[in-house]
Amino acid sequence: MRNGIAQWQLRIVLLCFTANTASATRFDHTIWDDLLREHVYMLNQKQASQVNYYGIARNHGQLQKYLSQLSAVKKSDFSGLDQSEQLAYKLPYGHL
């Protein structure tokens, strides 16, 4: 259980980093970014993070909307994204 939480925390931190990286072609991660900003708290001088999963669950509709947008991306459109955008796209699904 702890290892699973640590993996999600790492994915969230990586997503925050990649979502803010400039690229020519971008997928709109605004909903995900808003959820993370509201429900992920940095601890120990930003050396660790804590996720309020209950808070994310209360925003199930927003999370579902974001995941639906991700699911609607066509393979050809995905191939047109640069590497950082492809990584940001894969993280919510847990594909590292």
- Give the pLDDT confidence score for residue 24 in this predicted structure: 45
From the CB of residue 40, how many other CB atoms can be counted at a distance below 10 Å?
19
Give the H or E element holding residue 77. helix 75-79
Residue 87 has pLDDT above 50, yes or no: yes
Q: Find out whether 18 and 88 touch, Cβ atoms under 8 Å.
A: yes
Cα-trace Rg, the chain = 14
Interval 19-54: pLDDT, tens: 544 444 567 888 988 998 999 998 888 888 899 999
SS3 25: coil
Residue 21: left (phi > 0), alpha (psi -120 to 50), or beta?
A: beta
Instruction: Read off the pLDDT of each residue in 69-83 and give the average, rounded to a whole number.
Output: 83
